[in-house]
Amino acid sequence: MLPDLPWDRFHFLGNTAARGAYMALLRHDARDAIADIASKMTYIELAADNAFTDQFMAALFLPHTDMTAFPSVQKVLAGENSE
């Protein structure tokens, strides 16, 4: 699933997990950066957050329950309905 953005905004990056693991194994500066990022992370238990659960459940529906998040789809539907 991709956000409702123009296609030219997307760029295929390949297997970024393998690339990151490779960098972490071979580059000391990459390991330092990884350790720095990891030290700044905070764990949040999303399953215990009712607001998150509500948003997550709403996002599972296709079409989405909030069509304002997909303006290009709204335009297509408006064109189909007006014919």
Residue-range domain boundaries for the chain: 1-41, 49-83
Instruction: Give the pLDDT of residue 22.
Output: 93
This prediction's pTM: 0.47
What are the pLDDT digits (tens) for 37-67? Answer: 999 999 989 888 899 998 888 888 776 777 8
Q: How many CB atoms lie within 10 A of CB 3?
A: 8
Q: Is pLDDT of 2 > 80?
A: no
Assign 29 a pLDDT band (cuts: 50, 70, 90): very high
Inter-residue contact 58 to 65 (CB < 8 Å): yes
Residues 60-69: contacts with CB under 8 Å, at least 24 apart: 69/4
CA 60, CA 63: separation in Å to the nearest integer? 9
